[in-house]
Every structure is written in structure tokens, then in C-alpha cells.
Structure 1
Amino acid sequence: MKKTAKPQRLKIVKDDPWLEPFEEAIQGRHNRVLEKKYELTRDKMPLADFADGHLYFGLHRTARQWVLREWAPNATAIYLIGDFNNWTESEEYAFQRVKGTNNWEIKLPAKALKHGDLYKMKVHWNGGCGERIPAWANRVVQDDATKIFSAQVWSPEKPYEFKKKSFKPDVNPLLIYECHIGMGQNAEKVGTYNEFRENVLPRVIEDGYNCIQLMAIQEHPYYGSFGYHVSSFFAPSSRFGTPDELKQLIDEAHQNGIAVIMDLVQSHAVKNEIEGLGNLAGDPNQYFYPGDRHEHPAWDSLCFDYGKNEVIHFLLSNCKYWLTEFNFDGFRFDGVTSMLYYSHGLGEAFGGYGDYYNGAQDDNAITYLTLANLLIHEVKPKAITIAEEVSGMPGLAMPFKYGGMDFNYRLAMNVPDYWIKTIKEQADENWKPSSIFWELTNRRAGEMNVSYCESHDQALVGDKTIIFRLIDADMYWHFKKGDENEMARRGIALHKMIRLVTASTINGGYLNFMGNEFGHPEWIDFPREGNGWSYKYARRQWNLVDNKELCYHWLGDFDKEMLEVIKSEKNFQKTPVVEIWHNDGDQILAYTRGDLLFVFNFSPTRSYTDYGFMLPEGSYDVVLNTDAKKFGGNGFADDSVEHLTNFDPLLKKDGKGWLKLYIPARSAVVLRKRINR
């Protein structure tokens, strides 16, 4: 009898012996993905073909007619209502159930609808009825007077055609500028796609970022939700402009070598029934988990049932739609921790590996997320996927073939938490370089991270940006050149150092929220009843960084040159971070990446003369100094000096010498080793 070959151990377990006790669970999850993929495709089609729901459902114009289809298993009748029939039910506009399915469709002559018409469905079910926006609607608008949302026929005579037909992101390393279209302008109003393209995109290009991450793109009823309470998953938010204007923005970014990724919300949905999916056809559980898993306990929203094939079809098609219709280059998946655990990660400590394999995980969601990544990378092999995930689940950002979930990156969410804790709880003289270095480089082997000091989360009301934690209200009175007090000088120095040490230790990517690079002084507070529906704090004051009389442009200029230095080292994110020295007593930290040497002095009061480091013999030039006068520093060091290593017979056999530097208090310097040719 022929023996069955023993299955090969997954690489994730081979690489991490601590995972061996959980090998069966890891292999089981891997197998479930393969089983679900087979169940969906029967191996007769690519996953990308399965995810074409947006080409079937929703409103579509053919040569001779309009076709609108919707999945509504609990419906007993559906009527199309809108501008074209005075919003009244009639048999002429009645849907028919597609035989043998739970799908409904209506076919109308081409002249029945025109571009710009508003419409909804009137859905009937046993015991009730209601007006609904189709789940697959790709254009939804709000009436300015009534504030009522409706779907809109979007069929322009000359639809936008991409000038850049093919684009492959060149993001080595990935440098993300996190953006919100609506608040991307000086004016106290909602900004538009066009205003962003004309006014903000050039700044991103000039600053040296190679990727923009757009928030709040999927339509959401409440502006103040920051786009995280989505109602229409296939509709780009009309409050910012038209779908074609979004396409033009993405196209222009691509023409300038900038990748565009989307903050994709599939972790939950808004509870609204008229605008959203909350009760599309009399069954509140059509898209969502039943019982005590129906509502998210912390977000006042609904939780998708990732075990339903129809829901998987809806969400996978959503991923493909944004990639193919709008040419997005990938996604930052929001709320991944919430998806992975029955508890949504709330109140969990995640203190050991057992916490990831104790049966408290939603295997449906794990399977879905893995399928989503496989699909995305099948549609666009160079696509970027990032998981917003705080628990540290192993394998999240590891290829599926190795036993992972196939994300390209995970957000290093520990880093901003660390900086907040340090600034709040530690006096400057107690900052420990060993702790800083460990926190910034402690990550799973084989998984890339996106590191950041702060994102939009740290800028929202109820929290503070780094610059405001460092300087507080003195920003309003002492941020004019020549008028800085000690608090402002401290904040300017540490803001640069925190960014440099975070960006220079990445193993994948770096993220900055728009405006934070120059120390934007205001928190983010969207219009709401509590602030008189004001837009004062839902904008970015670009005039501050443009004003050369103020200190903001020092920080902006530094950020730009910092990115230039990082990009100057080929595949910077892959070069080893080699610690050369740390001394917590002196508050000195030094490490190399390729030919670059990074030296930090976190001491607030002590400067050091001839501080020595053992390095490969040769000559070193300063390429960046946080203390340079052009960045608002004191300019104590002469950065034009060529630094030579000093001979030491004890180090000669290793090809090393002593590099001795003057390191002013509260400053950092980057040097490059000269290559002898």
C-alpha cells in the first residue's frame, strides 16, 4: 500500500519554533482558505472572476437598455422609484425575481433613465416595506435642503479616460502621506477631489512621499464619522465631487509616480436602514451576523457575516471594483483586529501566543481577509495591502504560501502609543535610547511594518498630536521666528528627532498624516452640534507652513530632507538596522543602515565633544542634522567638516577605527560613509 506523503510544514512554523504548539491551528486556517476558495470557484475560474459581482449587480447601461439587479432574499416585491416616475410605485417599474435565485432584476428601455436621475428601491417584505438605496449603487448623493440620500444614475456622455493606463508602484521604501479629501484645504468647508488634486497633491510630490492614502472615500451619511460608518460601499463620496474627478486625481498622482491606496472599511457598516444595509429587505441579518454578534459593542455599527458566501462575494467584489474601476493601488484595511476576534480585541491583553489560537478568533473573518489579499494580488500583483491590527497576530503580513494572511504590511500601532506614553510620563532626562531602539525594531521576522509617529488617530479631539503634547498652547504665542521660548525650542527639536528615529528604523514603510509633518497646531474636530457645526478644526492650515516668518516651515523642510536621505539608500527598508552603540546614562544612540550612520543625543542638557564610535575605517560626511539652523536648530556643529576615523591598532584587524563626533544636546545627525572609487 502506497504511503501518503506527510504534509510539508508551513514556513511560518519553521521560522518560529514558538508556534509549534499551534501548528495544527495554523494549518487548519490555511486549509480553510483553500477549501473556501474551492467552494467559491470550484477551481473552474480565477478568484478574480468570482469577484465580478459589481458587473452583474447594480445599475448598468447596455446598448439597448438599463438593467438593475439586487440580492434581496427576504423581499416579496421591489419597485424602482425616482425622478422618472414621480417616486411612485407602478408595475412598469417592478422588479422580477430571477428564477431559482434570491436575486431581483428590472430591465428598462434606454430612454427610461438618463444621467443624473435620482432613484431608490421600494422594497416590500412580509409585514413591512421601505425605501432603500441599492447595496451595489456606485453613485449616491445628498440633497442639500432635505439632507436625504438617493442613488443617482451615473452615465456621463464622455466618461473619464485614464491617461496613465498602466501604473506599477515604485515604493521602496513605502512612504505614505495619509490624507482626508474634505479637510485638505485652508477654507472652513468640505474640500473637493479637484481642490485636493490642484492644491495638496503638488505638496505631496514636492515633499517626497511616494504614496497617498485616501480616507473616507466610501460614501458615509455622517461626515464626522471620518468615513468609518460606511453606507454605500461601491460609491465614492459625492460630498467631495464626482467619480470622474476622483479618477482624475488618481490618474494625475500616477502620472507623477505617486501610488494611491484607499482606507477600505469592511470591518463593519453603518446601522442606517434607509441609506445603508441595516435592513435592506426586512431581514436585519441579510449581510450581518445574527444575535449578540450583530452589533459592534464599541462602534455603534453592524458586523458583517463573513461566513456567508453572498457576503464574501459582495466584499471581494468591492475590493476588485476599487482596483479596476478607479485604478487604486491597494488598501489599508481598517479595523482588522475587530474582525479577527469575537471580542473585537476589546479588553484583550494579547500577552502570549496562546491568545491567538484559543478559539476566540473568528475563522470566517480570517478566511475572508486572506481571500481578499489573494484576490487583490491576483488582480494587481504589485498592489499594496496594509492591516490596521493591534493584537500582533503572527503571520498577518506573511505570504499565504508560508502560512500567513498575505497582507504586505501591518501598521506598527505600538509605535505612536509608545511615543505618547514617553512624552506624557517620562521627563526628558529619563528617555532611554535602549527602550526607544527596542520599541522601534521589535517586530516579527519576515513581516513588514508601516511605522509612524502619529496618524489621524492621534490628531482627533480627545487626543493630541506630538507637537501639541510637546509645546501645547505656547504654539500660539511663541512660534514666530525669533520669538521661540524654551518650550517651543524643545518641541521643535524633539519633533524632528522623533520623526527621524522612527522613519530611519523602518522595515517596510513610513506614514505621516497630512499637516503633521510641519507640526499642524490644531486638533481635528468635524462639524457637530457640540461645536456649532463649525469647520474651523476640520481643515489644514497650509498658510502656516508657507509663511517663512513662522517656525512651521522648519519642520516641513526637515521632513522633506529626511525623506530624501532615506530614499538615497537603495532599498533602505531592507538594509539591516545595526546598532553601533547605546548608553542610557548619556542618552546616546547610534546605528547604521548601509552607508548611513544615525546618531542621536536625547539628553536635554548635555552636549558631547569627541564622542567615539567604532566604525569601518574611512571618511564620513554629514547629510542631515536636526540642529542645523535651516531646520530651526542652533547650528552648533560645522556640517561641512569631513569626519575621518582615527586609527586604533586594536581595531585594525576588523578594518575599523574611531569616529569621534561633537553631538549637541537634544539633536541627531546622519552621516554617509564615502565610497572610495
Structure 2
Amino acid sequence: MAAKKKEEVQPKHIGLVQNDSWLEPFEDAIRGRHEHAVWKLNQLTRNGKTSLKDFASGHLYFGLHKQLRGWVFREWAPNATEIYLIGDFNDWKEDEKYKCKRIAGTGNWELKLRERDLKHGQLYKMKVKWDGGEGERIPAWCTRVVQDETTNIFSAQVWNPAKKYDFKKKNFKPKKSPLLIYECHVGMGQDAEKVGSYNEFRENVLPRVIKDGYNCIQVMAIQEHPYYGSFGYHVSSFFAPSSRFGTPEELKQLIDEAHKNGVAVIMDIVHSHAVKNEVEGLGNLAGDPNQFFYPGDRHEHPAWDSLCFDYGKDEVMHFLLSNCRYWLEEYQFDGFRFDGVTSMLYYSHGLGEAFCGYPDYFNGHEDDNAICYLTLANKLIHEVNPNAITIAEEVSGMPGLAARFEDGGYGFDYRMAMNIPDYWIKTIKEQPDENWKPSSIFWEVKNRRPDEKTISYCESHDQALVGDKTIIFRLIDADMYWHFAKKDVNGVAERGIALHKMIRLVTLGTINGGYLNFMGNEFGHPEWIDFPREGNGWSYKYARRQWSLVDNKDLCYHWLGDFDREMIKVVKSVRNFQDKPVVEIWHNDGDQILAFMRGDLLFVFNFSPTQSFTDYGFLVPTGSYDVVLNTDSKDFGGFGFADDTVTHFTNYDPLYVNDRKEWLKLYIPARSAVVLKKN
């Protein structure tokens, strides 16, 4: 007789609650969200008979595809009554040869053409008709969109080059120990007053990133967007890389070159909303404004002037999941930073909400459809590429975003530590230097959930936009224009240079996952970002990065750039630095001193603007210590008050002999920080 099968015992608590007992009152909601995702996963995969990757294959079916004999075009447009392809191949007129047929029993349309009916480079659109109207539309699944320089009109483009790009670097695996991200924008990555290209970025900017020691670039504004000044966040064509920067092959070459140099490439993906445009975008593809988007009050985003996806529709889930797979496979992106996750999670989009405690995350105002989509997107991405990187840009603090799916989490690898840049800008704006408290600084840069990895950063790209200020501009402001030459540095500039380095060092030194810097901020790029618009005469003057400033050895910028490079080098010298415990050695808010260790590295900060200390003692592991980085070094625009060539030895104390600790005494100049390595 067969042994009776042992009954499976359900664990007392789901993983999220096991890791945080304060979540216990909300366990039913956490389980409910998890079970919703499991149910949807089973539905989409027919209870595991297929994979999520198989489901997310819409890009292989819809859109325009070259086949062995001819072409096939397909589009999902359930409300349409007729669809024609029009273009420069038929003088942009309706032609029965280019008329699509509805596939019986579906909302899908199909057109099959001979090979000679379409040629590489030709422009086209759909002419869509529906009950009561008609209009020209760019297909939702098209992979190439171009803008006419004279008329500014966007059109889809037949893209079938004779030579496909062949990636030279195969099976690239990102380095994540730690993940050091250089956030960048291809168009504004050039010194010239123009839109930069993929090739120019590969030739001019990527070498800088490699030299500086970053191991990942996070590229903004890849998905096609009608308005350049939207920073890429009002997307119209989700499968088309922006042609204003160059061709698909040139983007692939950029990614390949990064991979060959050990640099991962992740994409700033926008699935939180879509541009309202109807001719260029998805706003009214076939007479039904709700085809892709929520109906009623949830249709439009109240703050972003955009449209909100209906994540409850399988067809929308199909579209967005296929989009994730497409970028991973077609362009070999290494993952995504998901924009606007807070907006997706809540019916209110997080607007006007304080999020003061756990009840605020489980009070019934969360969009379970969006939560389910994000969870399945993470499962899909890691199914396609187990080494992929996913990051959530989320400001509310929703628990579980970067926790494992099995624990009831949403499966992101990291979440952005958005509290840190908010803290720094608030401190700089509101607190005089003598009130900066090391205890507060230390708490803020380490404020995160223990079961979730974060990406720490000092300032966001939003602070570089018109109406706000970067850290360097908050610190120095107009004096950057007059006192940032080495021969004419004043006290304001000296303070700004010193604090810029210290802020970065304490933020990077306490990471538990990764660190991010926006392009140019590492060397204190001056001024704001202002894309061409009517209000500035359509100028590109501020929509660029002035690399000439950091290259000029007569200016102070290169000090900051050099420090950033050495700071990253020090952190990378410790294997798995991000996983080393952050051990507090000492803090004293009166002295404004902070010290902590990570592995064999000792970080010491003196935030006092006026008080230097001689023989300041720290109880540390016994041994000798050498200086590996000093913000006050003359090489980085400091005063060079300390002799960094000296090896520092600990001093015996019988009280701590059993702890194997002794006193290390250091000279710590005002407004400086030093990193020492234990020998």
C-alpha cells in the first residue's frame, strides 16, 4: 500500500511578514496581491503548459515583418471597421492592395504583401476607419518611427536593412558588486548645441563612463516620443527606439561596445503612462479611446497630461510584457529602471498622499491590476534573462517592491532610495552648516528595508531641470560663474567643493545595492537642463553637457570629476562592498564627527565648518591603517592639511584587549572626510 502523502503545511506567515512583523495586520492584503499575480500567471500560461515568455511574444506576431516570401502586417484594433496601409509606396492613398483583413473572431487585422510591394526606408501609416470617424495612425507595434525635418510629421518606416547588426559580445553578464550606474541621455550628451547621436555617445561619452569606473549606464528617452522636451517620458511608440538619435543598428552598436568594456546597459522604460497624441500615439488608435487605457475618471493622469494604461486587460498586459521582452532580446538591454511606479500603484497616483505608516499602503486605494503587472513583468524579465537588472522608481515606500516574488514581493532587484536626494536638498536649503547632524545623516543614508536592495543617489535628474537646482548649484550658485577658476576660488566655492565630495562619499559609502549618478553631476555641471522650446527660442544651449569644463585643468570642475573617479575606485577595491555590514564606529553631533567601517575600509567625516581636530580617537580593530582617499587632498581641490603618506597604527588599551580593538587617533580637518584601509 502506498504511503500516505504528507500534507503540506502552509507557513505561518508569508516571507514579507516573517521579515517584518509590523506587516502582520496586513498579511491578508499581501497574500491577496500575491495570489492575484499567481492566478493571472496561471491564466496567461495555461497553468504552466506554456511560459510567460511564450505569452510575451506579441512583437513577433504584430507589426510589420519581412518573411521568406513577402511581408506580413498585423495590428490589434477591435473597434476598427477598415484599415489600410498608406505610404510613399501608394502616394498616401487608400489602395485595395494594401487593405487589411480582420482575422475572424478576433480584434486583429492582417495584411500580406509581396516582397516588391514594400522597400526598406519607405514611410507608412495606417488609415483607420471606425463607426463615425477615421484617421491616420502610426501602428502601435511598429519598431521604427521617423520625423520629417520640414513638416515635423511622424511616420512609421519600413526597416529591413540588407545587413543586420550582429552583436560581437555574446552572453554578457552585468557586474553588480556593487552596481554603479551612470544615468544618461543620448541627445543631451554632447558639448555641441544640438541633438547628440548614438554614435557620438559611443565615441565621446562612453569612454568617459568606462574611465570613471561606472559599470552600468541607465539610458533615458529611448522609446520614441513626439516632444523632445518631455525628457522621453511622454512615449508614443513603445517598440521604436528614438530615431532622432540615429538608427537601430547604431543603438545596438552602442550597447555592444558597452558590453565589450564590461558596462551593462539598462533602459529607463515608461509603462506608467502614455502620451495623449492620437496621430503619433495610442490615444485613439481606432475610435476607442479606452482600447489601451482605463475608462472614466482613471483615463487621464491629472498631473502629467497623459493617459493611464488599463493593466486589467489581457491585451494591454500582452502589449507591455511583450515590450519588455522585445528590448531585452532585440537590443540586448540588460534590464530596466521602471519609471513612475508610485503613479501605477495607487488610484490617486500617490498625489496629495503623505504615506506616514503601513496602513497607508493597504487601505484599498491600490491598483491590484498594476501591482499584478509589475510582478509579472519582473518574473518575465528574469525568465528571459536571469542576470537582468530591474529597478523601481517609487517614492511612497510601498513594502515589498524589491522583495522576492516567493515572499509576496513584486520582484524588483532594487528600488530607488528616493529619500536620500530629498534629504540632501532639504538639508542644504534649510540647515546652516553648523546644524548638520551626523546622526541624522547616517540614519537617512541607511534608511531602508533589510530585505530589499536599494540604489542610493545624492541628487536626481529632476533637480537639474528648470525650476530646481543641483547640489553644486545649491551650494555655490552664481559664484560658479565667477569663482570656479583655480586662480580665483573664493570661500563659497571652497565650501561647495568640499561638501559636494563629502555628500557623495557618505552616500556611496553606505549603499546596500548600488549607486547612481546623473550625467555631468559627478563634476558639478553648472546650470540647469532646458530643452528647446518656444520660451527659449528653441535653443539647445542648456540641453547638453559641457565636457570642456571638466577637461579644462584651469577650472575646478576636474577636481570633482577626479575625486568621483577615485571614490568609485576605492569602493570597487572591496569585493562585494555593498554586502559588507555598515558598522558604526562613532558619531558625535556636537563635534559633527561620523565614523563607520565596511570590511577593511574606515570612513571618517568631519562635517564641522570651522572645527578641526587633532588626535581624535576611534576604537577600531587592531592594526595599521593607510589613507586611500581624502576629500581634503590638493588633488581634489582641498587644502592638503594632513600627510596622507603616513601609516596610522592603533594604540593599545587594556580595557578592550579581548575585543581586539585599539584606539586610532587621527587629525581631521574641518569639512573633510578620509577613507583608510586596514592592513
The TM-score bracket by the shorter chain reads over 0.9
Secondary structure at the counterpart of residue 359 of structure 2 = helix
Match 2:660 to one of 655, 658, 670: 655
| Structure 2 equivalent of residue 7 of structure 1 | 10
1:26 aligned residue (2, 16, 30): 30
Deviation at 1:652, TM superposition (A): 1.1
Letter in 1 for 2:19: D
* Superposition pairs of residues 127-276 of structure 1, within 5 angstroms: 127-276=132-281
In the alignment, the residues of structure 2 paired with residue 618 and residue 40 of structure 1 have an alpha-carbon distance, to the nearest angstrom, of 59
- Whole-angstrom distance in 2 between the partners of 1:2 and 1:217: 53
Task: Tell me if structure 2 keeps the 8 A contact 1:178–1:455.
Answer: no
Write the deviation string for residues 483-509 of structure 1: whole angstroms up to 9, x where unpaired. Answer: 100000000000000000001100000
Match status 1:500 vs 2:523? no
Q: Does 1:646 align with 2:651?
A: yes
Shift of 1:7: 2.6
Q: CA deviation at 1:6?
A: 4.6
1:312 is paired with a residue whose SS is helix
Separation in structure 1 between the aligned mates of residue 475 and residue 569 of structure 2, nearest angstrom: 26
1:117-158 residue CA offsets vs partner (Å, 9 max, x unmatched): 000000000000000000000000000000000000000000
Aligned: 1:352 with 2:370: no
TM (normalized to structure 1)? Answer: 0.99
- Equivalent residue in structure 2 for 1:618, among 623, 634, 654: 623
Tell me the number of residue pairs that the alignment of Structure 1 and Structure 2 aligns. 674
Q: Where does 1:411-450 land on structure 2 (aligned, <5 Å)?
A: 411-450=416-455
Q: 1: distance between equivalents of 2:162 and 2:95?
A: 29
1:650-675 deviations in Å (ceiling 9; x for gaps): 1112111100000000000000000x
2: CA distance between counterparts of 1:239 and 1:38? 40
The residue that corresponds to 1:297 in the other structure is: 302
SS in 1 for 2:643: coil
Report deviation, 1:11.
1.1
User: What displacement does 1:4 show?
Assistant: 6.6
**1:357 CA displacement:** 0.8
Query: 1:425-478 CA deviation, whole Å, 9 max, x = no partner?
Result: 000000000000000001101100000001211101111000000000000100
Does residue 556 of structure 1 match 2:545? no
Runs of 4+ in 1 over 2 A off after TM superposition: 1-9
Q: For 2:26, give the aligned amino acid.
A: F
Greater mean deviation of Cα atoms: 140-149 or 651-660? 651-660
Match of 2:21 among 9, 17, 21: 17
Identity %: 78
Q: Deviations over 1:321-348 (max 9, x none)?
A: 0000000000000000000000000011
- 1:296·1:302 contact (CA, 8 Å) conserved in 2? yes
Quick one: distance in 2 between partners of 1:412 and 1:15? 19
1:241-291 CA-to-partner distances (Å, cap 9, x unmatched) read 000000000000000000000000000000000000000000000000000
Report the residue type matching 1:28 in the other structure: G
Partner in structure 2 of residue 41 of structure 1:
45
Q: Which residue of 1 aligns with 2:339?
A: 334
The 1-side partners of 2:9 and 2:304 are apart by: 45
* Residue 521 of structure 2: aligned partner: 516
Q: Alpha-carbon deviations, 1:26-66, whole Å to 9, x = none? A: 01111111100111110211101110100000000001010
- Say which SS state the counterpart of residue 655 (structure 2) adopts: coil
* Equivalent-residue separation in structure 1 for 2:16 and 2:561 (angstroms): 41
TM-score w.r.t. the length of structure 2 is: 0.99
2:645 match: secondary structure = coil
Q: Which amino acid aligns with 1:38?
A: N
Q: Does 1:108 align with 2:100?
A: no
Cα distance between partner residues in 1 of 2:67 and 2:5? 57
- Give the letter aligned to residue 10 of structure 2: P
The aligned residue for residue 669 of structure 2 is: 664
User: In structure 2, what is the equivalent of residue 322 of structure 1?
Assistant: 327
User: In structure 2, which of residues 380, 383, 386 is the aligned counterpart of residue 381 of structure 1?
Assistant: 386
Give SS of 1:23's match. Answer: helix
CA-to-partner distance for each residue in 1:272-313, whole Å, 9 max, x for gaps? 000000000000000000000000000000000000000000
Gaps of 5+ in 1: none
- Matched residue SS, 1:75: coil
1:92 deviates by: 1.1
Shift of 1:182: 0.2
Q: How much has 1:90 moved relative to structure 2?
A: 1.5
* 2:606 equivalent to 1:601: yes
2:546 is equivalent to residue 534 of structure 1:
no
Could you tell me how far apart the structure 2 residues matched to 1:483 and 1:382 are? Answer: 49
Alignment partners' CA distance in 2, 1:171 and 1:359: 36
Deviation at 1:170, TM superposition (A): 1.3
- Which stretch of structure 1 is more off in the superposition, 620-629 or 2-11? 2-11
> 1:163, 1:251 within 8 Å by CA — same for their partners in 2?
yes
CA displacement 1:583-630 (0-9 Å, x = unmatched): 000000000000000000000000000000001111000000000000
Tell me the distance in 2 between the aligned counterparts of 1:172 and 1:321: 27
> How far apart, in 2, do the equivalents of 1:198 and 1:101 lie?
47
Q: How far apart, in 2, do the equivalents of 1:269 and 1:497 lie?
A: 39
> What is the letter of the counterpart of residue 17 of structure 1?
S
Match of 1:392 in 2: 397
| 1:99, distance to aligned residue in structure 2 (A) | 1.2
> What amino acid does structure 1 have at the position aligned with 2:425?
I
Conserved? CA contact 1:119–1:150, under 8 Å = yes
1:2 positional shift? 9.9
CA distance in 2, matches of 1:512, 1:144: 33
